[in-house]
Amino acid sequence: MGKTTKFLVTGLSALMLAGSLAACDDGRAGAEGAAKQLASSLAGLDLGPVALEGTDTAAANEQLKAVFADLGDIKPSVAAGEVKLDGSKATVPLDYSWKLGSAEWKYSSQAELTKSGDKWTVQWNPALLVPELKDGEVLDVTTARAKRGGILGAGDTPIVQDRKVIRVGLDKTKVDAAKVESSASALAGLVGLDVAEYTTQSAAAGPQAFVEAIVLRGFTADITEAKLKAIPGAVALPDTLSLAPTRTFARPVLGSVGQASAEQIEKSKGALKAGDIVGTGGLQEKYDSLLRGKDGLVVAVVPAPGQDAPAEGTAAEGTAAEPRTLFEVPAMDGTSLKTTLDVKLQQLAEATLADTGPASAIVAIRPSTGAVLAAASGPGSNGYNTAMLGQYAPGSTFKIVDSLAMIRDGMTPDSKVQCTPTLTVDGRTFKNAEGYPASSLGSVALRDAFAHSCNTAFISARDKVSQQQLESAATSLGVAVEAPKLGADAFLGSVPGNAEGTEHAASMIGQGKVLLSPLAAAVMAASVGHGAPVSPQLVLNGGTQSGDGGASDGGASPTAGASPTAGASPSSSASATAPAIAKPVTKAEAAALSDMMRAVVTSGHAGFLAQVPGAPVGAKTGTAEFGKDNPPKTHAWIVAVHGDLAVAVFVEDGGLGATTSGPLLKEFLIAAG
């Protein structure tokens, strides 16, 4: 091949390559780059880096922020799709994804790009942000509130359900700004709030705010409609709230509901927000997620603030149109919690304790099923769940446990024991209660010593009944073990497995380090009535809520007589520390214990219970000393079995069990029918 031909071929190749490159340089790379930049800027909610046509960047950013303002701090994920070229114009789909709680809202819009010289610009249109969005429209995000589940009692009787309430507060739209402080101060004084705190809260709220002060079931003698009207801006708004029949009904057990506090919102890690209704304390808090359900949400396009929606069919092209829903997540209503509480018996228990000054409790259990029918804490408990969480020395009621241990050591109710006026153990003198009958001293039947509660007779048995045997007998009666069916936080008792000397002697009369709650004492009596260990049950459909279980760890204990809140915290699962029931009480053993409990009524301290109609009542009284006063203060106890009902009555600082708790028990049993 000659030189001329060679140069000709080379030149043609160069021309062909140049033509190919020119054909590829159709602007796609620039358009794709502009599209990616637009997607990135939209995801950051800042259009500063984007070249726009039809508006300036500042105006576009202002409109973007207004459109998405109701979404708060949430930012979308935005991806640019495939660019479609048409000469100097291009279109590109924009795929949005918003994380709205646990929901994901996805949609696509379309952007138009125009090439001017070697630069691609984006044609501004609010529909870039949301399909078909027009000028003068923004997004509105509202919560679709889930209906909170109620709490049901025995036979699915409604306990906690929606009831009418009045929300009292200050409506700042109805009072001059200059009078907000004086109105807030007057309203706080009327409803009993801290004046300075409520005034500060009212001042800090926005000009359109309703600043809630109190929620009432109805107007009272002190807070009347007329008094509210006299305060500028004070209003009473009708509403409903999940409430029990009365303000006090089983409140320490059930808990309450109200708006989430700042602390609860912070601890929820985003699960709660201001205005959410949540449970506080008791079952309402323990099963809050079950009861609360799950709120839904609605994302809609609405006219921007200050712009009214146009009349139907009158909206001009490109201007705000009728509100329309873009995305919706339906609310999932909460599930009602089913319990075993008997409304009548709970109200009766609370009424029985109404005039009792010290902390007190009545717990009623159905032995055949373990159902907790009532768990009432008296007004002296000041809102504390004394019935289920109290930790107190049980006194002579614990002689039920002693007697079981002694029966297992070969004794019967007719076996003889020595009841002496006093007994000294390692230098400490124990004696019987004041007024102990002389006729029951000396060599008496175990049944008689039990009926009259001879301390010295039971302490004398300490050499035959070890502390470990006491612990075993307690667990045999359902005490100091876990309660897997209870479904609520509770203290089921603490009976140490090791104790010597005076501590072991004190254990024989339910003192020392032996502690029971009124619930545990009722379980002990119920196990005698049932002829087998009873495992208490309060919640029927709690599932596997966090903390579900019920028994205390049976470990650390408060000093006798100390405030219950100062003692060991109840644990919802005691499996790691509470002993198992190695040797359940038998029907024969329970029959012997029932015989002795009946003797307490027929010949012992609780003769007043013979007047209770219906099935024969078996009982055991108890008095436990606490504190350092001289004479010492005492807890007053009594437990009883009446047919298929086991009851424990407790009064802290109550004197003698027979004279203080006994009459309360009699009143309860007769009224219970």
C-alpha–C-alpha distance, residues 534 and 525, integer Å: 9
The reply to whether the predicted model has a pTM over 0.85 is no
The better pLDDT of the pair 162, 518 is held by: 518
When pLDDT is averaged across residues 501-514 and rounded to a whole number, the result is 93
**Domain boundary at 133, 161, 179, which?**
133
C-alpha–C-alpha distance, residues 98 and 80, integer Å: 15
Q: Is residue 146 part of a domain?
A: no
> In a 10 Å sphere around its CB, with 0-12 CB exposed, 13-18 middle and 19+ buried, how is residue 616 labelled?
middle
When pLDDT is averaged across residues 116-122 and rounded to a whole number, the result is 92
Please check whether residues 487 and 508 belong to one and the same domain.
yes
Rounded to the nearest 5 degrees, what angle is found at the Cα of 393, between the Cα atoms of 607 and 405?
Answer: 75
Q: What is the pLDDT of residue 307?
A: 67
Per-chain mean pLDDT for the chain:
89
When pLDDT is averaged across residues 213-234 and rounded to a whole number, the result is 95
Distances (CA, A) of 76 to 79, 112, 130: 10, 20, 12
Q: Is residue 144 part of a domain?
A: no
Q: Is residue 116 part of a domain?
A: yes
Residue 531: pLDDT band by 50, 70, 90 thresholds? very high
Q: Is residue 1 part of a domain?
A: no
Q: Please say if the pLDDT value at position 309 is more than 60.
A: no
User: By percentage, how much of the chain surpasses pLDDT 70?
Assistant: 89
Residue 79 identity (one-letter amino acid): A
Q: Is residue 319 part of a domain?
A: yes
Q: Which of 182, 27, 52 is nearest to 112 (CA)?
A: 52
Contact yes or no for 512/495 (Cβ under 8 A): no
Domain containing 385 equals: 343-672
Q: Is residue 199 part of a domain?
A: yes
3-state DSSP assignment of residue 511: coil
Q: Is residue 642 part of a domain?
A: yes
Q: What is the pLDDT of residues 41-76, one digit of tens each?
A: 999 999 999 999 999 999 999 999 999 999 999 999
C-alpha–C-alpha distance, residues 433 and 660, integer Å: 15
Q: Please say if the pLDDT value at position 241 is more than 90.
A: no
Residue 306 identity (one-letter amino acid): G
Kind of pairing, strands 337-338 and 151-152? parallel
Please check whether residues 330 and 351 belong to one and the same domain.
no
Q: What is the pLDDT of residue 312?
A: 54
Please check whether residues 463 and 512 belong to one and the same domain.
yes
C-alpha–C-alpha distance, residues 381 and 658, integer Å: 21
Q: In total, how many domains does the chain have?
A: 3
3-state DSSP assignment of residue 194: coil
Q: What is the pLDDT of residues 340-354, one digit of tens each?
A: 999 999 999 999 999
Q: Please say if the pLDDT value at position 481 is more than 60.
A: yes
Give the CATH number, domain containing residue 328.
Answer: 3.90.1310
When pLDDT is averaged across residues 349-373 and rounded to a whole number, the result is 98
Please check whether residues 213 and 68 belong to one and the same domain.
no
Residue 323 identity (one-letter amino acid): P
Q: Please say if the pLDDT value at position 578 is more than 70.
A: no
Please check whether residues 86 and 166 belong to one and the same domain.
no
Q: What is the pLDDT of residues 408-464, one digit of tens each?
A: 999 999 999 999 999 999 989 998 887 788 888 999 999 999 999 999 999 999 989
Q: Is residue 140 part of a domain?
A: no
What residues does 639 pair with on adjacent strands? 620, 648
C-alpha–C-alpha distance, residues 548 and 488, integer Å: 7
